[in-house]
Amino acid sequence: MDLFGKKINNTRIVPVTLKIVFIFTLFILISNLSSNYINMIYNRSALTKLMKDLLVKDLKSLYEFYNTQYEIYDYTKDMKGSKVNIEEKGINILKNKKAVVLAIRSNGNLFIQSSMIKQLETFEDKKTLDLMNKNLGQNIEQGFLHFEFNNESYFGLYKYNDKWKVFILRAEERNEFYRESTAIFWKTFWISIIITLASAFVGILLLRYILRFIRIISSGIMKMIENQKMEIIDLKNAPNDDITFLGIAFNSLSNTIDNLVTIFRKFATRDVAMRAYQEREIRLEGSQQELAVLFSDIKSFTFITETLGTDIIKLLNMHYDKAIREILAQKGIIGSIIGDAILAVFGTLSLAGENKSYQAVLSAYKLQEVSGLLRMKMHKRKAEIVKRSGKLTSFEEKVFKAVLLEIGVGLDGGEVFYGNIGSYVRMTNTVIGDNVNSASRLEGLTRIYQVPVICSEYIKNDVEKNISGHKITFLEIDKVQVKGKTIGKTIYWPILHQDMNKSLKNEVTQFSQGLQLYYKGNWAKANKYFKSCKFSLAEVFISRTKSATAPKGWNGIWAMTTK
């Protein structure tokens, strides 16, 4: 488990469980250790008070013994014997190893040292000695004091003995005296730490369980950020607490945002929606890009609208719902929907190894397939009505013809401007360029040449040069100068190999031979080839080559007089 969190963008995300446990553990440790320390201080105060009472008792006994030994000395004059007796008396009183009984001359010389430690000749703590002498000068003959002896810290009780002219000092070494309380403190210290850490570990497990839905919520949000997609966090079996309420509130917000994003994506192109999600804004900007452009238009749209009226919306939505899905499946972007026409661009979302022109050609035939399936559906509906009613009324026949949608598709490509234009109050995504207009003109030519799809030489070259095994035959149709243009353009009918049978291959060969003669101006011979060709495409060339000779100044380019 990620006890210490995980890194996201080089930043470690620390679990809130760990923070809570750390803070509580820290406070518990401080509380326990402070309590133990205060308890130790109070215990030491009590011990010190007790020791003072013991020191008073010992010092009183020593003082009396010193006086007794002085009287013996005064009688026997045996100084050595008296000192031995005094020293032994002091040692018998002592319990701790470093405890001492000292008899100190006013000049610092040690008269007696009763102890189990190194024997010294002088009392070296001059500050304490001066204090005792000063007190004596003020008729203060006893008191409690702290001092240094044998490089150790002591505390004790002294009393001046006027007979021996010495300060009798009964003292205990500080660290030795406090050793047991200190040992108890450190034992308690480590026990507290062990218990606290064990409790913290158990606390982490309990808190991780109690706060498990925080992890579920945060993990869900991180996943959404990575996938750039709003989702609903699973709160099944969540407890009834404020964390669950937070998750429910987020799910509500997520659902609202997801609905807004879904709606936004329906009105904005896919790449714009992705960029808005990543950059959190949409700017008025664009760039020159090399794209493929698809323009699709519904034929006889005026007749359809006159016949269906406002019901045409239902028919258009039936067609566009399938058609747009097919364009999106080929990584296309819907540039605009203008009544009966769709403008789509390819290349902005294409990945490495994908070809925009190839995607545009495949989309063009998918659109034809969509309209073909719709026509089949309408024919089936007609057959059901005829079977039920016998025949269609004249109005029904007119409606039937109106719903048999047929479309033309024009394809071109090259450098275009692609981006957002307008203002920051209202903007739109658009594609602008001569190739966009050309795709529209090429779609218009499908009505004249009676083919489903017409593309430019750019589309043909892009597919043939960059897609191996593309399985498309680009049949050259004509060289035309569309209305509004000053130069001629070679146009092609892309035929999928899956539609290319033996008969169609022969027709393609016949047409291509006639077209070459047509270009050269040998219209009489070209006319024979066109007449032997069963293409609907050939009809326009049969009509053009009725005259046995080409027009004067013929260059192979046919100038269109209509769009």
Beta-strand runs (E) in 217-299:
286-298
Could you tell me the two tokens for 353?
């190894």
∠ CA 24-28-34, nearest 5°, is 145
The backbone torsions φ and ψ at residue 286, rounded to the nearest 5 degrees and listed phi first, read -165, 180
pLDDT for residue 503: 87
Query: DSSP 3-state assignment of 102?
Result: strand
pLDDT for residue 1: 46
The backbone torsions φ and ψ at residue 95, rounded to the nearest 5 degrees and listed phi first, read -110, -35
Is the backbone of residue 185 left (phi > 0), alpha (psi -120 to 50) or beta?
A: alpha
The backbone torsions φ and ψ at residue 172, rounded to the nearest 5 degrees and listed phi first, read -120, 140
What proportion of the chain, given as a percentage, has pLDDT over 90? Answer: 44
Question: In the predicted model, is pLDDT for residue 8 greater than 60?
Answer: no
Could you tell me the two tokens for 242?
């404020």
The residue written with tokens 């001569």 in the block is: 434
**Domain architecture of the chain: domains with CATH:** 16-181 (3.30.450.20), 285-467 (3.30.70.1230)
pLDDT grade, residue 31 (50/70/90)?
Answer: confident
pLDDT in tens, 121-172: 999 999 999 999 999 999 999 999 999 999 999 999 999 999 999 999 999 9
pLDDT in tens, 444-458: 999 999 999 999 999
- What are the CB-based long-range contacts (under 8 Å, 24+) for 265-274? 268/429, 269/333, 269/334, 269/335, 269/429, 270/328, 270/333, 270/349, 271/333, 271/348, 271/349, 272/420, 272/429, 274/228
How many Å apart are CA 420 and CA 136, to the nearest integer? 103
pLDDT in tens, 224-252: 767 767 777 777 777 777 777 777 887 78
pLDDT grade, residue 3 (50/70/90)?
Answer: low
pLDDT for residue 110: 94
Average pLDDT, stretch 396-422? 88
Mean pLDDT of the chain: 85
Q: Which helix (H) or strand (E) holds 64?
A: helix 16-76
Average pLDDT, stretch 96-125? 93
How many Å apart are CA 458 and CA 474, to the nearest integer? 12
> Is 439 in contact with 294 (CB distance < 8 Å)?
yes
Question: In the predicted model, is pLDDT for residue 91 greater than 80?
Answer: yes
Question: In the predicted model, is pLDDT for residue 343 greater than 70?
Answer: yes
pLDDT for residue 482: 73
What proportion of the chain, given as a percentage, has pLDDT over 70? Answer: 89
pLDDT for residue 312: 87
pLDDT for residue 445: 93
Greater confidence (537 vs 32) lies with: 537
Average pLDDT, stretch 344-357? 88
Query: DSSP 3-state assignment of 75?
Result: helix
> Is 554 in contact with 519 (CB distance < 8 Å)?
no
> Is 123 in contact with 108 (CB distance < 8 Å)?
yes
Closest CA to 472 of 510, 499, 506: 499
